[in-house]
């Protein structure tokens, strides 16, 4: 009989979002008359923009011809796309050969953890996107996971000076808190990483939601980061690729292991060549369209719409009596009661059972998220409007708030 990987024994039996879905489905079954408004999962809701659809149509027609058919592509991505990512996101500071195009950021997190094996301790913000902590628990073992104490309203690590992990994973703008780190904070993180020889993994999946001038969009905008950081990017939230799938990992060849001269990039290339067969030709063509000037204009418009929706919802929640955080440079609103008297799951149930709202309980993002719930501004405008109307009429809910 094969032995079970013992790391599974320390996990919650189900990942956070399926748990929420199951609870919402059970509620809907017993309350068929209650309309549900989904502010839970952070999936996008707007359709692909025209320039991406045209590129997909063209690429799929090409694939149906003998001359245009594409089988396995380069594992790191078609050079044209790597070039484009290097230019658009990194102004060539990271070259096309230092970019690994992938099928999305979630898989990249797991691939990077695998790269370093089970020896290093991995620091993760508390609260944080649950796929990160769970991937560490599964791939390295819970004993290798360090939940870094953070300000629960922002996700900013509280005691950088005393970090003891080998690898630190930072998400900016943060999911779930919706907070955007300042240049000064990022500079301190890079400085500490350099001093303590900590490898930084920077997840910038929401970078396109940053509009505030003076705030860095990439860790490579911070001096000294090239030889201590790896960046993960994604088109999921900025160009609607959650179903199409496209992400990337960017790392400089100047990033080395502590005691060796081998660039980390060489090993990552070896891992990718062995375990990944490249992102699909169609999604790479779609990505090229998304990163074209026309694609940029069209997708920017959508991001603006999501941010407007988020702000409308945030204002409504504040007026309703909740304390809100984030939601300005991010599609996520992090909210809690002023007195913090209900647990995250209790608050989730109050909203579900009284208003039909599906939210995400903050404790699912780590112990520091207890008492919070996360609202996603990716919700459809009609749902946001309905929630705003409900808040005006359901005064009885205030007794919970
Ligand atoms: N990183 C963060 C911080 C996320 O919130 C998400 C998705 O919600 C991902 C990565 C996953 O992105 P992708 O769809 O590219 O796998």
Nearest residue to 127 via CA among 151, 93, 110: 151
The predicted-structure confidence for 173-209, as pLDDT tens digits, reads as follows 999 999 999 999 999 999 999 999 999 999 999 999 9
Please list every protein residue whose CB sits less than 6 Å from any atom of ligand 1.
Answer: 42, 104-106, 129, 171, 175, 203, 205, 234, 236, 242, 247
CA distance 273 to 38: 39
Class of residue 396 by CB neighbours under 10 A (exposed 0-12, middle 13-18, buried 19+)? exposed
Mean pLDDT of 59-70: 98
The predicted-structure confidence for 234-273, as pLDDT tens digits, reads as follows 999 999 999 999 999 999 999 998 777 889 999 999 999 9
Mean pLDDT of 48-63: 98
* pLDDT at residue number 399: 65
CA distance 366 to 134: 10
Q: Which of 80-89, 109-118, 194-203 has the lowest mean pLDDT?
A: 109-118
21: Cβ contacts below 8 Å, ≥ 6 apart = 41
The predicted-structure confidence for 355-377, as pLDDT tens digits, reads as follows 999 999 999 999 999 999 999 99
* pLDDT at residue number 341: 79
* pLDDT at residue number 314: 97
Q: Ligand 1 centroid to 106 CA: how many Å?
A: 5
- What mean pLDDT, rounded, does the chain reach? 94
Q: Ligand 1 centroid to 58 CA: how many Å?
A: 28
Q: Ligand 1 centroid to 169 CA: how many Å?
A: 13
Mean pLDDT of 140-152: 96
Mean pLDDT of 53-78: 97
pLDDT score of 102 more than 90: yes
Longest CA–CA span in the chain (Å) reads 67
Mean pLDDT of 133-155: 96
Nearest residue to 81 via CA among 337, 283, 350: 283
* pLDDT at residue number 396: 67
Helix, strand, coil tally for the chain in percent (to 5)? 45, 15, 40
pLDDT score of 146 more than 70: yes
Mean pLDDT of 17-30: 92
* pLDDT at residue number 401: 67
Q: Give the residues across from 372 on adjacent strands.
A: 336
CA distance 177 to 213: 20
* pLDDT at residue number 338: 85
172: Cβ contacts below 8 Å, ≥ 6 apart = 180, 181, 186, 202, 203, 204, 206, 207
The one-character DSSP state at 198 is P
* pLDDT at residue number 2: 78
* pLDDT at residue number 400: 64
pLDDT score of 340 more than 80: no
Phi, psi dihedrals of residue 134, rounded to the nearest 5°: -65, -35
Mean pLDDT of 57-81: 97
Determine the residue of 42, 44, 206, 237 to mutate for testing ligand 1's pocket, defined as the one with the most ligand atoms within 8 A of the Cβ atom.
Answer: 237
CA distance 233 to 247: 5
Tokens of 214: 């003076």
**Which ligand 1 atom lies nearest to the CA of residue 234?**
15
Q: State how far the alpha carbon of 259 is from the alpha carbons of 99, 263, 269, 301, in Å.
A: 24, 11, 20, 47
């Amino acid at each position: 009989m094969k032995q079970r990987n013992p790391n599974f024994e320390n996990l919650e039996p189900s990942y956070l979002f399926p748990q929420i879905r199951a609870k919402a489905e059970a509620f809907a079954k017993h309350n068929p008359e209650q309309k549900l408004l989904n502010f839970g999962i952070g999936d996008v809701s707007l359709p692909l923009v025209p320039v991406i659809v045209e590129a997909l149509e063209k690429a799929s027609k090409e694939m149906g011809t003998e001359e245009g058919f594409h089988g396995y592509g380069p594992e790191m991505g078609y050079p044209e796309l790597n070039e484009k990512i290097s230019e658009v996101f990194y102004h060539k500071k990271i070259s096309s050969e230092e970019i690994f195009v992938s099928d999305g950021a979630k898989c990249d997190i797991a691939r990077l953890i695998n790269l370093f094996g089970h020896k290093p301790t991995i620091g993760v913000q508390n609260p944080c996107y649950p796929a990160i902590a769970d991937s560490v628990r599964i791939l390295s073992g819970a004993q290798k996971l360090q939940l870094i104490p953070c300000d629960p309203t922002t996700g900013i690590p509280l005691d950088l000076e005393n970090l003891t992990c080998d690898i630190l994973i930072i998400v900016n703008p943060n999911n779930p808190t919706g907070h955007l780190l300042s240049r000064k904070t990022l500079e301190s993180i890079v400085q500490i990483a350099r001093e303590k020889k900590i490898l930084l993994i920077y997840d910038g999946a929401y970078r396109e939601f940053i509009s505030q001038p003076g705030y860095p969009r990439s860790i490579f905008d911070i001096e000294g980061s090239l030889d201590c950081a790896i960046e993960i990017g994604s088109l999921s939230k900025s160009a609607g690729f959650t179903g199409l799938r496209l992400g990337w990992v960017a790392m400089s060849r100047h990033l080395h292991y502590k005691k060796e001269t081998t660039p980390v990039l060489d090993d990552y290339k070896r891992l990718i060549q062995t375990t990944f067969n490249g992102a699909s030709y169609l999604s790479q063509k779609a990505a090229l369209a998304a990163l074209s000037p026309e694609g940029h204009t069209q997708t920017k418009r959508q991001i603006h719409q999501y941010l407007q929706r988020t702000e409308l919802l945030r204002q409504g929640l504040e007026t309703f009596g909740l304390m809100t955080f984030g939601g300005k440079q991010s599609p996520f609103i992090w909210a809690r009661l002023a007195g913090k008297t209900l647990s995250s799951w209790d608050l989730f149930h109050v909203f579900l059972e009284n208003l039909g709202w599906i939210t995400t309980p903050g404790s699912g993002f780590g112990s520091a998220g207890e008492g919070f719930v996360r609202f996603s501004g990716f919700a459809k405008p009609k749902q946001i409007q309905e929630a705003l109307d409900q808040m005006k009429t359901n005064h009885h809910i205030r007794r919970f708030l």
